[in-house]
Amino acid sequence: MKKIFFIIIFISIKLLWATSPYVKQIKVWDDCTYAIEPIRLDLMQVKNIIFTEINASYAIEVCEKSLHSYPNDAHIKFLLARAYTKAKKYSKGVKFTAEACYSGDIGGCNLLGAYHDYKLSSTTHDAKKKILLWLWSCSQKNSQACNNLYNQAKWDDTYLPSEIRNAPEKIMHEKLKLCERGDFPEVCHDYAKSLFKDRQFTKQADIFEFTASRSCISGDREGCLFYQSFLDEHKDDNKRQNRRIYVYKKSCNNGNTSSCLNVARFYASKKRTKINNITALALYEDACKKGKNVHACYATGSYYLAKLEGIVQNIPLGISYLEQSCTVHHVYKESPNGYSSSSKISLRGCYALAKYLLNPPDKKYQNKEKAKTVLAYTCNERQYYYTNKLGCKLGIDKCCKQRRK
How far is residue 109's CA from residue 102's CA, in Å, rounded to a whole number? 8
Amino acid letter, residue 5: F
Q: What is the pLDDT of residues 235-290, one digit of tens each?
A: 777 778 788 899 999 998 888 888 999 999 999 999 999 999 999 999 999 889 88
- pLDDT of the residue at 372: 94
Whole-structure pTM value: 0.73
Q: Does 146 have pLDDT greater than 70?
A: yes
Beta bridge partners of 340: 333
Calculate mean pLDDT across residues 78-102.
94
- Name the more confident of 334 and 174: 174
For every residue of 81-150, DSSP letters joined together read: HHHHHHTT-HHHHHHHHHHHHHTT-HHHHHHHHHHHHHT-TT----HHHHHHHHHHHHHTT-HHHHHHHH
- Name the more confident of 45 and 162: 162
Q: Does 44 have pLDDT greater than 50?
A: no
Calculate mean pLDDT across residues 142-152.
90
- pLDDT of the residue at 12: 43
How far is residue 27's CA from residue 20's CA, in Å, rounded to a whole number? 13
- pLDDT of the residue at 342: 58
Calculate mean pLDDT across residues 216-220.
89
Q: 161 pLDDT band (50/70/90 cuts)?
A: confident
Least confident of 113-117, 162-166, 180-184, 307-311: 162-166
Q: What is the pLDDT of residues 317-338, one digit of tens each?
A: 999 999 999 988 765 554 444 4
- pLDDT of the residue at 188: 93
Q: 21 pLDDT band (50/70/90 cuts)?
A: low
Helix (H, G, I), strand (E, B) or coil at 341: strand
- pLDDT of the residue at 257: 85
Q: Does 229 have pLDDT greater than 60?
A: yes
Q: Does 29 have pLDDT greater than 70?
A: yes
- CA 52 vs. chain centroid, Å, equals 9
Q: Does 156 have pLDDT greater than 70?
A: no
Q: Are 145 and 138 in contact (CB under 8 A)?
A: yes
Q: What is the pLDDT of residues 105-145, one digit of tens each?
A: 999 999 999 998 887 766 666 888 899 999 999 999 888 99
Q: Please, which contacts does 264-270 make with residues 24 or more away whose CB atoms are closer than 8 Å? A: 264/296, 264/299, 268/299
pLDDT > 90: percent of the chain: 50
The DSSP call for residue 192 is H
Q: 200 pLDDT band (50/70/90 cuts)?
A: low
Q: 14 pLDDT band (50/70/90 cuts)?
A: very low
Using CA atoms, how far residue 322 sits from 76, 310, 384, in Å, is 45, 21, 17
pLDDT > 70: percent of the chain: 84
Amino acid letter, residue 346: S
- pLDDT of the residue at 5: 37
How far is residue 373's CA from residue 7's CA, in Å, rounded to a whole number? 58
Calculate mean pLDDT across residues 164-173.
84
Least confident of 117-121, 175-179, 373-377: 117-121
What's the chain's average pLDDT? 84
Q: Please, which contacts does 80-84 make with residues 24 or more away whose CB atoms are closer than 8 Å? A: 80/32, 81/108, 81/111, 82/36, 82/54, 82/107, 82/111, 83/35, 83/36, 83/54, 83/56, 83/59, 84/56, 84/60
